[in-house]
Structure 1
């Protein structure tokens, strides 16, 4: 923490918990390129050091500690905006912004986005196509809800993110193990609530719409097409963005309606939908930049800088959403075939030097343990990721497959054991 700090004419933006460099480094880099940036982090700054002018280290999940850290930074800098791209800290960050007297949506709006039961209720009230959903408190209530909705159903925590605790249940005899799996996910740290929902299963391709809202007016700027794996779980294994995706015209109005139903007036929204036989239907609205480098894909494909836009919005400035690129980009998250110990990894030189290969990053080193879903989450299941650019969606799909074909990942299998979640998967 600095004691003597240089003055600057640039506005000062406070970022709460910028997270890891791999997935969110591009966000902080974008904001810091335009604004003086200070951060509140749970650990001493490392990779953030060259991007920030000051910082405070504290537990951002401790309400009083977060406010006190913000006050200390505000005593040293004229804080003009407060923001985060951390899903589980959306509500505390809005409360901090209120405390420091800078622009923010009401924390209740962020809570409505975070709590899926509240979201579903608001979607229904405003006629936004979504999924039938019933909040439950026991296995018996889950069974009654599933019978009412009709199998297959989805069990999910109402207040978690990143598909934590989410599972499809096809048959009644799978429900007890699935309920235990979802309950465990609902009780993990960082959840907005520990409630459980039983929902109608929306069959069809999954997408997201990346939206920007300024003064209550929402612009849908891009569609992200998704790859989902590890059924009956909902692990995201890849994403692609095409600047001229014709689907945007169809799903953009539905995404905007969902954002409006939740009362959002400012910020970036990552709106997830499924393309069903009855039309596009909302899964959820995440009031922040999408994870898994989705914001980076949007910039590579369209030229629109979502992290910069998020900072502009936090300052009350209308962001520049003019696309200056018209191409495609894709990311593939690299999972091994089995859980175990990584003994080799690499990429062939002929692909590593390709001008269309935008990024290759390794998450697991040789000797690391990787654990696939359901026992492991994204933090321990992925070995790496690869990002490509292309002229259009078809070429991006071909290039992502070509890149994967030239990547080697060898894992020595772990000894097999079946937990409750694994039993649920085997039963399906």
Structure 2
């Protein structure tokens, strides 16, 4: 633990995982990490001044742990790359009188209705939508659109509780499910047909630098199972995608930090789904670094403190990065095949220690030097869940660097073909995945 008289610059980081703070020592920073018990890798103890616990979604709880530490030795910044901690962290920043993004700016990206309103003011990305508070209002919107719609929580994350509807019966069932999950209102939108693409950008001093396009492969539940940087498609829309992203960030008044902005490439052009005042999830910073040589995780700490400058222009891609999450058959893991074959071919394979559950997307730092790397988050005896939301992707992943996007994706696909999870239902019988 650092002495209270230390002269090193001091910041607090709310939530996140190892990649978010691994550059702190190199940047000569003391970091107080605020996190939930059991939701961070223990290795972070070696990279932080201290780790304190609080509910990331509760601004008062964050203030209770950070205010005394700030009075003891002031923080220069309180930062977060956590979705749940986005608005509460902005509240803390304002309460402590620190520079950073305003509560209004962060909330405008966190609340999907406010995002739609900001887009309308900016005059970009028109999408028909309505806030619904009952099965009746949802059904009425369905009738208005006259076709497929999507309904989702106003402040949801990880593709959880998202419903695609075609008829009144499905609308009633979706509203019942949203109500049971505790949502008093939801956002209904026209269904946007097309592939998913996102803009990974970084801001400082109100200047926004779009860096990369990322494409994603979604499963039937709209959970992102693969990411590619540079994107596998949509390059012809780069200018429009960048322009819409910058227009939104200017409209809400975002000042600094990484952003992740998602679009659907419809037949009528790009239509924005949502934006976030954080780095993209699912290993995005790692594949961005593999593709562009630009480290958003380091910039997350260095640029707001003016230790390093935000580049004037985005660099050219030097390669490509791809990540693919494993999706074995649900059930109890009885064994694995292919691990030895992978290691013999020079692929780095890491596996969680028996009896541990690694949160988030662990291992990205440890695998950063591997051209192709595998992280297995489970062991024999662990239970594979059905994937219904992003947090269900808890089995592991393969990440690779390639000469170009198809090459990186091919490397991951080949690993997924070789590695076999054997699972069995909880009762009897056996299945291979």
Q: TM-score range by the shorter chain?
A: 0.7 to 0.9
Residue aligning to 1:297: 287
Is contact 1:228–1:237 with CA below 8 Å preserved after alignment?
A: yes
User: Residue 37 in 1 paired to residue 25 in 2?
Assistant: no
Q: What is the distance in 2 between the residues matched to 1:184 and 1:215?
A: 42
Aligned to 1:394: 406
Is the contact between residue 39 and residue 54 of structure 1 (CA under 8 Å) also seen in structure 2?
yes
Give the structure with the larger helix fraction: 1
Structure-2 residue corresponding to 1:126: 122
Deviates more, 1:35-44 or 1:144-153: 35-44
What is the deviation of 1:78? 3.1
Moved more, 245-254 or 256-265: 245-254
Q: Which residue of 2 aligns with 1:207?
A: 197
CA drift of 1:65 comes to: 2.6
Q: Which moved more, 1:238-247 or 1:262-271?
A: 238-247
**Alpha-carbon distance change, 270 to 3 in structure 1, aligned in 2, over 3 angstroms:** closer
* Root-mean-square deviation over aligned CA pairs: 2.5
Counterpart-to-counterpart distance in 1, 2:178 and 2:268: 28
The one of 198, 214, 218 aligned to 2:188: 198
Aligned to 2:359: none
Note the alpha carbon deviations across 1:324-378, whole angstroms, 9 max, x for none.
Answer: 86100100011113x221222354444331486433112232212222144xx33
TM-score (norm: length of structure 1): 0.86
Equivalent position of 2:278 in the other structure: 288
Aligned to 1:164: 160
User: Per-residue deviation at 1:195?
Assistant: 2.5
Following superposition, the deviation at residue 43 of structure 1 comes to 2.3
Is 1:26 paired with 2:30?
A: no
- Contact 2:260/2:276 (<8 A) preserved: yes
Counterpart position of 1:419: none
Other-structure match for 1:151: 147
Per the TM alignment, residue 235 of structure 1 is displaced from its structure 2 partner at its CA by 0.8
Q: How does 1:280-359 map to 2 (within 5 A)?
A: 280-315=270-305, 318-320=309-311, 323=315, 326-337=318-329, 339-352=330-343, 353-354=346-347, 357-359=371-373
- The answer as to whether partners of 1:38 and 1:52 remain within 8 angstroms in 2 is yes
- Taking the aligned partners of 2:126 and 2:255, their CA distance within structure 1 comes to 21
SS of residue in 1 equivalent to 2:420:
strand
Indicate how the Cα distance of structure 1 residues 381 and 43 shifts in structure 2: closer, same or farther if over 3 A, else same.
Answer: closer
Q: Is the 8 A contact 1:119 1:284 kept in 2?
A: yes
- Give the superposition deviation at 1:313: 4.0
Structure 1 gaps of 5+ residues are 19-23, 188-193, 417-428
Distance of 1:324 and 1:53 partners within structure 2: 36
SS in 2 for 1:251: helix
Q: How big is the shift at 1:146?
A: 1.1
1:16 equivalent in alignment to 2:10: no
Report the Cα distance in structure 1 between the residues aligned to 2:124 and 2:45, rounded to whole angstroms: 43
Unaligned runs of 5+ in 2: 349-369, 429-433
User: How many matched pairs?
Assistant: 398
Alignment of 1:253-264 (within 5 A): 253-264=243-254
Moved more, 195-204 or 255-264: 255-264
* Most deviating of 255-264 and 134-143: 255-264
Which deviates more, 167-176 or 385-394?
167-176
Question: Matches of 1:130 and 1:114 in 2, distance apart?
Answer: 19
Q: Which residue of structure 2 lines up, in the alignment, with residue 228 of structure 1? A: 218
> Does 2:77 align with 1:81?
yes
Describe the superposition over 1:369-393 as per-residue Cα deviations: whole angstroms up to 9, x where unpaired: 222144xx33345311110110001
Q: Which residue of 1 aligns with 2:6?
A: 7
- 1:45-71 CA deviation, whole Å, 9 max, x = no partner? 723100001232233333323112111
Residue pairs, 1:82-101, within 5 angstroms: 82-101=78-97
Q: CA deviation at 1:88?
A: 1.2
- Of residues 212, 221, 228 in structure 2, which corresponds to 1:240? 228
Partner of 1:426: none
CA shift digits 1:170-212 (9 cap, x unpaired): 233222222223334564xxxxxx5301111111010110011
Q: Where does structure 1 differ by over 6 angstroms across 4 or more consecutive aligned residues?
A: none
Equivalent residue number for residue 54 of structure 2: 58
Instruction: Say yes or no: does 1:369 pair with 2:383.
Output: yes
Q: Distance in 1 between the 2:30 and 2:316 partners?
A: 25
Moved more, 124-133 or 273-282: 124-133
Query: Does the residue aligned with 1:29 lie in a helix, a strand or coil?
Result: coil
For 2:197 and 2:91, how far apart are their aligned partners in 1? 30
Distance in 2 between the 1:123 and 1:201 partners? 17
